[in-house]
Chain A
Amino acid sequence: MNSVSASIQSDRQPMLEMRGITKRFPGVIANDNVSFDVLPGEVHTLLGENGAGKSTLMKILYGLYQPDEGDVLINGEKVSLQSPSDAIDHRIGMIHQHFMLVSSLTVAENVALGLSSTRGPITDLKQVAKKIKSLSDRYGLHVDPDAYIWQLAVGERQRVEIIKALYRDVQLLVLDEPTAVLTPQEVDDFFVILREMTSDGRGLIFISHKMNEVMELSDRISVLRLGRLVGTTTPQETTREALAQMMVGREVDNTREERPATIGRTALSINRLSVGGDRGVDALIDFSLDVQQGEIVGLAGVSGNGQRELAEAISGLRPIKSGSISLFHDGNPKPIGGLGPKAVREAGLSFVPEERMRDGAIGEFSVADNMVLHNHHSTRFSRGGFLNFGEIHRHSQKLVDDFQVKTPSIDTPAKNLSGGNIQKMIIARELDSDPEVLIAAQPTRGVDIGAAEYIHARLVAARNAGTAILVISEDLDEVMLLADRIAVICQGRMMGVVDRIDASREQLGLMMAGVTD
């Protein structure tokens, strides 16, 4: 009796209330009088375009930014969140859009960081590893506590982030695009974990650009647009289309025009490639794949099965052990394996890396400088060693406009852009260089639906213009939407290639799991 009334009571009182939050940055109002709350045991989703202000609002909650106006209340009491440690003291956790992991440390060390030890001043990593193991068993989050972060694939890193939060037993967890890096199967498992967390009475704030996930997981959905709260609704009261329209302000249509590929000659040929991995085992074994001019080949697979190493090997960032990678010019093969990134680019290959913040952009540089990062020495942008700033500016402004990169100006440092807009910036640069061969790793990870639609259209346009495109994606829906042929990778081996017309999700799923018939 008592407990029932207590739970009703707690249902009424939000565990978190943010009232009238305003946050300004030079040239933008990132949050404009936003009010937002979370009840115990609910998933409250924040939805909005790239740059709408979602991450900013969450960073205020986590003590990383101070609001210019507004209050934060935890369990009805006004709190001052000056730093993450204040937030942690209030049992708030956050999984950031960009990983917050120290790559030179192990999983256990990353989890133990900032916590007190059972052995006083001395670390108790064995103890920590044990607890990680029990958490990962209980929630099905497989990671090796002794592995170094730099050895882990993106999906595995995400699991470490989740474990960090579970380990700290947070009551309110912010998840800023946590599923952007997970495969469909991983997302299903992940949602099971999240449901388990809410059933314990924890509150979750969920940010995602994937509508199906938002509809599936949310109890309530709040939409931000240009820093303002447009409205709050529930999945029962709304539809995906209505939500998209609320976010973008127009109708969004992400279906692909059906136009058969006009296949040309082979442009990229990977022949019996073997590549070493970071953990002793070879990441790619005897892997072969051809991509022709004018087609998009999609490479599907569960995260961490050699996709990252393949992209690195093709782009010249990773040495190859045996086999070959060749680009073709007028039918003549030019081996590019082990040439190094600059030579590979000069041979006509463009590359959208998976970890764009690390490999694709320089945060301190302006948007304009990032836009010409790889061809600033071309005659178009420099003469006699001097940069042609006028041309760089014109060119960057055009790319920013075409790809709708939301930035106060092209002189803004790239690190000040929202996550999705950094992605758009790099994709704009790579697509614009009019490559003969384009490797795009997770091209729409973290971008909003409007931008995803645009990036897909650009990829298809490049294909129609004769570019050979390899899209490496853990998002099966994306692969099935874009690709003319679908290749599947599992544990570094090629599982087979199927035409999209003949492909079924079930068959691909089995291949991704390593089942051959």
Chain B
Amino acid sequence: MSDVITTTVIVATIASGIRLATPFLLASLGEAIGQRSGVLNLGVDGVMLLGAFASYYVVLETESIWLGVMTGILTGLLMGLFYAIITVPLRAEQGVSGIGIYLFGLGMSDLLFQKLVGTPLPIDQFSEWHVPLLSDIPVVGEMFFQHTPMVYIAFLLVPIIAFIINRTTFGLSIRAVGESPESADSLGVSVPKVRFATIMAGNALAGLAGAALAIELGIFQQNLTNAMGFIAIALVYFGAWRAPGVMAGSLVFGMVGAIVLQAKTLGLIPRSASDIAAMAPAVITILALIIVANRFRQPAALTKPYVRGD
């Protein structure tokens, strides 16, 4: 058995794990930003689906992948604006509104797909971009530095977002608003403005995650994400609301997925067990969640609308 697991296989599996982790990472980074400011968004999956369809459609029509990526982000921003309006000034209950967004995204993306496209046609995909020099390093280069641009973008966002949250005045406002909006308000920090910004940014990332997925697969179909957005929400808890933690969670998830795929290809998993194997990433995430749970406290104001003077 050990003779099938060669270095080549291991390298390929790790590279594919990183690739699989990318949409999760983008979506969960976005969710983490929102939650740090006290806003829960259960609609990530719906926004991902809309972003995926929009970018798929634009690439199909224009054959410009980057235009597709931009459209994914723009779709996320639009959905974010909508979600921000209903949850911040209108103070709608966040749990229910998020589920509404999800259902809307699920239905609308399929409807648009049926009306505008009908039969699934493949679109252009990003080609790999080899990082100069680094990609030539044996083994390591192949694992980490021979990916599509979306992978680099997602992983570069981790330190950027960590920096914004931890080192900037805006990040300080985000953390304060998520923990104690009344204290932030009493110092002149506008709670609605901060939450609008984080919701918009978070949804833009969800839209981008959808675009990354559709372009990676080169295809769109009904419910393309298959609940990836919900897993992204779980990964935020797994990652304790911190960008590096969220990245670790996404990688675990992507790796387990890649290992299962690879094992299947190599015939290491009997056909009868393949359904069970497909559940492995979810089961592992849940186990990890149980272990991590309670080590870290969620933002104290999470899901709580803020009303001045209360």
Please report A residues at the B interface, Cβ cutoff 8 Å. 59, 62, 64-65, 83-85, 88, 94, 96, 99-105, 109-110, 112-117, 121-123, 164, 415
Q: In the assembly, what is the distance between CA of A164 and CA of B169, in Å?
A: 16
Residues of B within 8 A of A64 (CB): 185-186, 308-309
The prevalent SS among residues of A at the interface is: loop
Complex Cα gap A115–B176 (Å)? 13
Encode B299-310 as 1/0 by CB contact (under 8 A) with A: 010000000111
| Chain B residues engaging chain A, CB cutoff 8 angstroms | 167-173, 175-176, 179-180, 182-190, 297, 300, 308-310
Cβ distance A166 to chain B, nearest Cβ, rounded Å = 14
CA distance A487 to B21 in the complex (A): 61
A114 and B175 in contact, given A123-B167, A415-B310 (Cβ under 8 angstroms)? no
Contact B190 A85 (CB under 8 A): yes
A113 to B175, CA, bound (A): 10
Q: Assess whether A84 is in contact with B185, with CB atoms less than 8 Å apart.
A: yes
Asked whether B169 lies within 8 Å of A121 as measured between CB atoms, the reply is yes
Cβ-defined contact, A102 with B179, below 8 A? yes
Q: How far is the CA of A194 from the CA of B53 in the complex (A)?
A: 63
Instruction: Determine if A109 and B172 form an interchain contact, defined as CB atoms under 8 angstroms apart.
Output: yes
> How many residue pairs between the two chains, A and B, have CB atoms under 8 Å in the bound complex?
81
Q: A59-B309, A64-B309, A123-B167 are in contact. Are A104 and B186 (CB under 8 A)?
A: no
Cα-based distance from A509 to B190 in the complex (angstroms): 45
Contact pick for B183, options A62, A101, A116, A121, CB 8 Å? A101
Q: Which chain B residue lies CB-closest to A104?
A: B179
Residues in chain B near residue A104, CB distance under 8 A: 175, 179, 297, 300
B58 to chain A, nearest CB (A): 32
Residue among A96, A100, A101, A114 with most chain B CB within 10 A: A114
Chain B residues with Cβ below 8 Å from A109 are 172, 175-176
Residue in B170, B176, B184, B185 whose beta carbon sits within 8 Å of that of A121 in the complex: B170
B167 contacts A114, CB within 8 Å? no
With the chains together, A62 CA to B185 CA distance in Å?
A: 11
Q: Are A113 and B176 in contact (CB under 8 A)?
A: yes
- Looking at B167, B173, B183, the one whose CB has the most chain A CB atoms below 10 A away is B183
Instruction: Give complex CA distance A100, B176 in Å.
Output: 11
Which of B175, B176, B182, B300 has the most C-beta atoms of chain A within 10 angstroms of its own C-beta?
B176
Q: Closest approach, in angstroms, between the C-beta of A281 and any C-beta of chain B?
A: 23
C-alpha spacing A59/B179, complex, angstroms: 22
Select from chain B the residue with minimum beta-carbon distance to A89.
B188
Q: Given A59-B309, A104-B300, A121-B170, are A114 and B179 also a contact pair (CB < 8 Å)?
A: no
| Cβ–Cβ < 8 Å partners of A94 in chain B | 186
Most buried by A among B169, B173, B185, B309: B169
> Which of B172, B184, B185 sits near A123, CB closer than 8 Å?
B172
Give the shortest distance, in Å, between A202 (CB) and chain B (any CB).
19
Question: Across the interface, which residues of A come within 8 angstroms of B185, CB to CB?
Answer: 64, 83-84
Given contacts A84-B185, A114-B189, A164-B187, contact A102 B176 (CB under 8 A): yes
Residue of B nearest to A168 (CB): B187
- Assess the A84–B188 pair: CB atoms within 8 A: yes
Tell me the minimal C-beta distance from A405 to chain B in angstroms.
Answer: 19
List, in ascending order, chain A residues with CB within 8 A of B172's CB.
105, 109, 112-113, 123
The contact of B187 among A114, A121, A122, by CB within 8 Å, is A114
Closest to A62 in B: B186
Neighbouring B residues of A62 by C-beta, 8 Å: 186
